[in-house]
Structure 1
């Protein structure tokens, strides 16, 4: 014998705006009762209650559910119908929470198809609460992703002041700040004052909204206070992001103040199969109704309704009063899924006690007396595929794995409101697919100067600049300052500039690092060419003078001035001119070593030769005096000894220099901005200055000796010319030292070359030019007779 039992479920929050939810509920129950596979021989029934958005009625309806009577008598039940299995409700979060506090005492499962409250995700506090909508935690994540996509970093928030919304605001704040955004303002509206905002509060909100710097505002308010939406979205130049669809007029006459500037998050809904057919064929007179719902049903008979939803009615039903607006017909799968989840849980409960899974005994049907305690386990683990081919199961927080659609509310030119789906957010999809936005489908307000609009407290800092946060202001409000010297920023809105590598330098815009300019004294540039030319020119002059002295080697003036020492001096000076060429060109290890040591050695030979000539002149004058003991020292031996000993000492200093710390090429990256100076580092500074010091010592001794001998008779007096030459030499090198130390790079090398050439030219000119003049232009003075006469 087949036994038919009746099980009851309750649906809360019945009101005209949610009439579709009621119809979807009825349709789902009818479909399940007609199914031979799901709950066979079991008929589902339901009771319908209306809360009227008031806690008083919520409490009253809750008591009525348990007592079965309109009279509120707690803990007493007048059992007039089948067993109460669960409560399916469509209340706002606070009302849903109030019901849960009562239902959990009796262990009744509570399934919500509207409440997304963050607080009710706590399974410890709400152990019997389920919902077929996602938690607002994911709604907050979706809003943050939307802000990040458009680069909106300066936003305001208007929210209701209930506990769940305040918690959501905190999550939004943290998420926005993690993405380098800031909250311009947060204003809360009392959730208990439906349809009313105090004048002072409204004026404050209006004043804040009108601020030019605030372009994006998040409306995080519950549906019951969303009736302010038409007034809010009338402000031009603002983008509104709503956590739910706004209650805007479905059609406006003439020019509307409402702007096309709203993006709303709506729970993803699917069309229920055969639901339209159910609406077209059902006898609505058998359903509970009131005046507005009756007019809605009659509106479906109007010829202006689309054919896919138009009902075929008798003539007396065709009284058309309400407009035929049926955008949401069939889009009620949250209610549909709630009913089916409960039905499958009941089915699993009953089947768990059946061995053949086809028939139930009378004893097994008695399990229905314990439904509240047993159904919770099966509802928590329910898993099935609905008629929309969706996987239905509750996650660890007892939410269904659904997402959101992003809707752009647009008033068409004919004044009709159009809801365009422009994107979606599904936290359960893959990383690449969980957030989708179609910017081309969004209709923006015409007053926006930039599409999409920008929402920043400060304009982005371009590459080459960094952000400098303004004192006592949020991090989104900043000034842009150029990167300091040697640093770049290659992206917009960088907090800090990045230093270039040591061998690179910022370009003019300071947005990329470029290789530093390599600088050294080259033969190709004008300065290098000039010094090369002068070196070759002086060496040629030197060679000509040497040639003259060799050609006129037997003349008295050449012989009288110790011609062999003159040859050595002329050859060393010529090498000095040519060794300056080693300082020109890219410094290499070999050229650095040779240029400095050759310079030290050759100059020591030149100065020791001059010293030798000076001493020879002095000794020659004193040796002519009667009884002079200097006669035995006369000859070339003393001159060569001086040259060899001085040169050997300098050679030893150079060897010590080379073996301790020889000169080497050095890439100087600090001396000049954006330049790598390739120069010869002296290596051992002490050795370098010892070599220069010895040259200075030789020059000083030669100068003093020559100066003291300047008044000797003319025929022997070469000391006068040596005095002038050493005066020039010392003047050049005394000036060289501070100039050398104060210059860098190729100019330092140029100073060194100039000092070598100038001092060498001074020696050459002062000592030999007058003799060449006599040899070439005054041959009459270049005779023994003339010398004897002058003597």
Structure 2
């Protein structure tokens, strides 16, 4: 027998005694009980269940034959297989069954068990607790030993998807037989090696064990047979997580063993409270003082390794049991004085049945049927009558805990999280370090106190990592290794423009549009606002040049106005000259609209004003050039061009060419005008404040028209450069338009390839350079004559032909 499980029997005895001593519950009625062993065998489980039902131990299904016992309820068993086998028979007779172990809530093989009650939660809260525990300590690479039966299969079926959803991988899954005695065969070596290999080869530092106590005993034996020194091998020491089914029990044959190998184990148990008087009850038990307890003698002999017999032959082999042995002297794997979770559930099961019976006797509807006036008659009580009262029962046990069955016939969803602390004298102590309660408020479903945990000594009292691959630091991301589980990966630096700000990121992400990655690509930095301002050196330089050129143009205009009656000013249409100078002056000043932070007004004016003013300037240049050509052609005899000589032609050219550009600008501003815009994509570290052209098509149409005028002016001036006229400005105009066209032809590719404030600088430079070309090439020779060589500024000098 497993001596540790005798506490389950003693908990039953203790609870029944408490009920029988309680005058407020079932007064004048004494509860009794039978205890049977299932022997961890299917046939024996069915056999002992039938023994509970029939007095004569002869079975006649569907016939009473006065041999049927008046059984009210059954408490058991310790595993799902035993519980379901018992229920196969009890459900035929509608006898309530109260299971005290924790196992899966789902149906077995499609069967339903409506008469099945659980004194504790099912496995669902435990599965949640396992995942929360692994995530809390960031154990992502875990090995699993599971019992080789239907329960282990169901556990894997439910747990594996949960682990995968939370980024946790199983390094291996090994099955453990659900028995600790077997017949040796040729396969035993393979089985031993199969369990032993993970300790040798696995990179995981965290192992889980799922199974009943018998599977745990078998596991220990397998490890011992594979390597008797396994407990001393430091590299075999792991962080263990064990489920509520494991009760840390060993057989009396393993009494020399201890649990040093499982030091620091974290395990789940059914929530329990300290029951007053239970430990005192255990200490008072003597093997000769308990009549009717057929298991006590065997328990005593196996627990204390003695013989409770008068046989002299046996005395030579073992010591005689004196009956004065103390239960508290036994190591924890043989017996514990502290009430375990399973014993606590059995204790509560007795309370539940007693309170259900009390409710039946107290109800008015059953009062006359159960009493004949002289006392309680139990012969008329049927087990199926207990169900409604058991389902709706609510009571407080002697530990002060309030209990009731929910709609799933369970008494709660809470589990305790415990830590196993071992000692050299083969004893151990359970320390409560947390709890699992899925019904708790959000954020409190899983609570654990790390300070209370005593870790495996090989980890230096620290929580070790359990990973297939090391964490990927910020600035890199995980790349799954081909052919391996997703927990095994390489760390790859983030691509340019992306970051990872946390450890173990699956993929890198882009920064928000107003931020850019740090040098190490582990965070984002706010971009700086960028525009060509008046305060920076480039802006000051350009503004100074623009103002200087505007001043020079004003001085030239003033000079021409002052000397307006001189031949050199009057030549080539004085009014067109004034208009050209005013246009150049406005061109230089319009460049200042491109500086500073863009606003609706500046964006609305800068491009349209620039295009119109420059078109006027180029139109004036074109008019001057055509005037020279027409004047030359008019000198021929009988020429019809004489009627075009004068202001009429030049004014028409200027007005018509300017109005076309004004029309283009009007359509542009009316349909899709320029507006202030923010460009967060062009530059990595800057946010550009710029003027959006609105309609890009209209922008290029206006620019193209101005270019067309410039090319026409250049061609006409080039053709007229050698006309024999002393008043001919075509040579200077040709050179100025050559520079003008070169500037704007260079502007287009530069504009398209430049980003940021450099675009604005290119625009301003093109305006100033082209305007300065016109101003310098056309007017500097005239200013030279007016200011420095006034003697040449006479009609005779200007009209003198070159020989």
Report TM bin, short chain: 0.7 to 0.9
Task: Tell me: CA distance 1:297–1:85, structure 2 relative to 1, closer, same or farther (3 Å).
Answer: farther
How far, CA to CA, are the matches of 1:177 and 1:781 in structure 2?
98
Question: Are 2:431 and 1:420 equivalent residues in the alignment?
Answer: yes
Q: Which residue of 2 aligns with 1:374?
A: 385
Aligned pairs for 1:448-463 within 5 A: 448=459, 451-461=462-472
How far, CA to CA, are the matches of 1:594 and 1:432 in structure 2?
59
Q: In the TM superposition, what whole-angstrom CA distance separates every residue of 1:291-323 from its partner, at most 9, and x where no partner exists?
A: 651697999xxxxxxxxxxxxxxx976567993
Task: Tell me: CA distance 1:591–1:348, structure 2 relative to 1, closer, same or farther (3 Å).
Answer: closer
Aligned pairs for 1:214-293 within 5 A: 214-227=204-217, 228-229=219-220, 231=223, 236=236, 238-243=238-243, 244-247=246-249, 258=261, 260-281=263-284, 284-287=287-290, 288=293, 289-290=296-297, 293=300
Is contact 1:130-1:399 (8 Å) kept? Answer: yes
Stretch deviating more after TM superposition (628-637 or 537-546): 628-637
Task: Tell me: CA distance 1:743–1:51, structure 2 relative to 1, closer, same or farther (3 Å).
Answer: closer
Q: Which residue of 1 aligns with 2:198?
A: 208
Task: Tell me: CA distance 1:595–1:363, structure 2 relative to 1, closer, same or farther (3 Å).
Answer: same
Is contact 2:240-2:262 (8 Å) kept? Answer: no
Question: Are 2:138 and 1:154 equivalent residues in the alignment?
Answer: no
Aligned pairs for 1:7-22 within 5 A: 15-22=2-9
RMSD over aligned Cα, in angstroms? Answer: 4.2
Task: Tell me: CA distance 1:621–1:411, structure 2 relative to 1, closer, same or farther (3 Å).
Answer: same
Compute the TM-score of the two structures, normalised by the length of structure 2.
0.82
Task: Tell me: CA distance 1:86–1:15, structure 2 relative to 1, closer, same or farther (3 Å).
Answer: farther
How far, CA to CA, are the matches of 2:327 and 2:737 in structure 1?
122
How far, CA to CA, are the matches of 1:117 and 1:605 in structure 2?
90
Secondary structure of the structure 2 residue equivalent to 1:44: coil
Q: Which residue of 1 aligns with 2:530?
A: 519
Is contact 2:2-2:250 (8 Å) kept? Answer: no
Task: Tell me: CA distance 1:714–1:450, structure 2 relative to 1, closer, same or farther (3 Å).
Answer: farther
Q: Which residue of 2 aligns with 1:126?
A: 113
Is contact 1:121-1:397 (8 Å) kept? Answer: no
Q: Please state how far the C-alpha of 1:576 moved relative to its aligned partner.
A: 2.0
How far, CA to CA, are the matches of 1:408 and 1:490 in structure 2?
35
Q: Please state how far the C-alpha of 1:519 moved relative to its aligned partner.
A: 3.1
Aligned pairs for 1:718-737 within 5 A: 718-737=729-748
How far, CA to CA, are the matches of 2:688 and 2:123 in structure 1?
63
Task: Tell me: CA distance 1:581–1:89, structure 2 relative to 1, closer, same or farther (3 Å).
Answer: closer
Question: Are 2:349 and 1:338 equivalent residues in the alignment?
Answer: yes
Q: Please state how far the C-alpha of 1:421 moved relative to its aligned partner.
A: 1.8
Query: Which of 306, 319, 323 is the matching residue for 2:329?
Result: 323
Task: Tell me: CA distance 1:297–1:282, structure 2 relative to 1, closer, same or farther (3 Å).
Answer: farther
Is contact 2:674-2:691 (8 Å) kept? Answer: yes
Aligned pairs for 1:524-535 within 5 A: 524-535=535-546
Query: Which of 169, 177, 202 is the matching residue for 1:182?
Result: 169
Task: Tell me: CA distance 1:422–1:546, structure 2 relative to 1, closer, same or farther (3 Å).
Answer: same
How far, CA to CA, are the matches of 1:562 and 1:512 in structure 2?
67
Query: Which of 569, 572, 575 is the matching residue for 2:583?
Result: 572
Question: Are 2:103 and 1:94 equivalent residues in the alignment?
Answer: no
Q: Please state how far the C-alpha of 1:65 moved relative to its aligned partner.
A: 3.3
Q: Which residue of 2 aligns with 1:593?
A: 604
Is contact 2:283-2:328 (8 Å) kept? Answer: no
How far, CA to CA, are the matches of 1:788 and 1:67 in structure 2?
148
Secondary structure of the structure 1 residue equivalent to 2:745: helix
How far, CA to CA, are the matches of 1:473 and 1:493 in structure 2?
17
Mind listing any 5+ residue stretches in structure 1 that lack a counterpart?
Answer: 1-13, 300-314
Q: Which residue of 2 aligns with 1:309?
A: none
Query: Which of 396, 404, 414 is the matching residue for 2:407?
Result: 396
Q: In the TM superposition, what whole-angstrom CA distance separates every residue of 1:631-682 from its partner, at most 9, and x where no partner exists?
A: 6765555544543444344444443443344333343444444544333344
Secondary structure of the structure 2 residue equivalent to 1:419: strand
Q: Please state how far the C-alpha of 1:222 moved relative to its aligned partner.
A: 1.2
Q: Which residue of 1 aligns with 2:96?
A: 109
Aligned pairs for 1:484-523 within 5 A: 492-495=503-506, 502=513, 505-506=516-517, 508=519, 516-523=527-534
Q: In the TM superposition, what whole-angstrom CA distance separates every residue of 1:117-151 from its partner, at most 9, and x where no partner exists?
A: 64678996434443434323333333233223333
Stretch deviating more after TM superposition (561-570 or 351-360): 351-360
Stretch deviating more after TM superposition (692-701 or 416-425): 692-701
Q: Which residue of 2 aligns with 1:583?
A: 594
Q: In the TM superposition, what whole-angstrom CA distance separates every residue of 1:363-383 from its partner, at most 9, and x where no partner exists?
A: 874442543343444434433
Task: Tell me: CA distance 1:630–1:334, structure 2 relative to 1, closer, same or farther (3 Å).
Answer: closer
How far, CA to CA, are the matches of 1:435 and 1:82 in structure 2?
46
Q: In the TM superposition, what whole-angstrom CA distance separates every residue of 1:256-278 from its partner, at most 9, and x where no partner exists?
A: 96253411222233333233443
Q: In the TM superposition, what whole-angstrom CA distance separates every residue of 1:136-186 from its partner, at most 9, and x where no partner exists?
A: 333333323322333333322211121122112212123222323233322
How far, CA to CA, are the matches of 1:129 and 1:536 in structure 2?
97
Is contact 1:68-1:77 (8 Å) kept? Answer: no
Task: Tell me: CA distance 1:568–1:120, structure 2 relative to 1, closer, same or farther (3 Å).
Answer: closer
Task: Tell me: CA distance 1:262–1:746, structure 2 relative to 1, closer, same or farther (3 Å).
Answer: same
Q: Which residue of 2 aligns with 1:43?
A: 30
Task: Tell me: CA distance 1:737–1:16, structure 2 relative to 1, closer, same or farther (3 Å).
Answer: closer
Q: Please state how far the C-alpha of 1:253 moved relative to its aligned partner.
A: 10
Is contact 2:4-2:336 (8 Å) kept? Answer: no
How far, CA to CA, are the matches of 1:400 and 1:246 in structure 2?
24
Secondary structure of the structure 1 residue equivalent to 2:26: coil
How far, CA to CA, are the matches of 1:123 and 1:362 in structure 2?
47
Task: Tell me: CA distance 1:319–1:537, structure 2 relative to 1, closer, same or farther (3 Å).
Answer: closer
Is contact 2:406-2:412 (8 Å) kept? Answer: yes
How far, CA to CA, are the matches of 2:571 and 2:408 in structure 1?
117
Is contact 1:229-1:246 (8 Å) kept? Answer: no
Task: Tell me: CA distance 1:790–1:253, structure 2 relative to 1, closer, same or farther (3 Å).
Answer: farther
How far, CA to CA, are the matches of 2:722 and 2:80 in structure 1?
119
Q: Please state how far the C-alpha of 1:783 moved relative to its aligned partner.
A: 4.5
Question: Are 2:778 and 1:771 equivalent residues in the alignment?
Answer: no
Q: In the TM superposition, what whole-angstrom CA distance separates every residue of 1:444-469 from its partner, at most 9, and x where no partner exists?
A: 22443894333333444555555544
Is contact 1:252-1:415 (8 Å) kept? Answer: no
How far, CA to CA, are the matches of 2:509 and 2:798 in structure 1?
79
Q: In the TM superposition, what whole-angstrom CA distance separates every residue of 1:478-520 from its partner, at most 9, and x where no partner exists?
A: 4455566666655555555556555555555656665544433
Q: Please state how far the C-alpha of 1:242 moved relative to its aligned partner.
A: 1.0
Q: Please state how far the C-alpha of 1:192 moved relative to its aligned partner.
A: 4.4
Aligned pairs for 1:619-658 within 5 A: 619-620=630-631, 635-636=646-647, 638-658=649-669
Stretch deviating more after TM superposition (112-121 or 743-752): 112-121
How far, CA to CA, are the matches of 2:659 and 2:325 in structure 1?
129
Q: Which residue of 2 aligns with 1:312?
A: none
Task: Tell me: CA distance 1:119–1:537, structure 2 relative to 1, closer, same or farther (3 Å).
Answer: closer
Q: In the TM superposition, what whole-angstrom CA distance separates every residue of 1:359-414 from its partner, at most 9, and x where no partner exists?
A: 94378744425433434444344332222222233333433336332221123477
Q: Which residue of 2 aligns with 1:752?
A: 763
Is contact 2:531-2:690 (8 Å) kept? Answer: yes
Q: Please state how far the C-alpha of 1:220 moved relative to its aligned partner.
A: 0.4
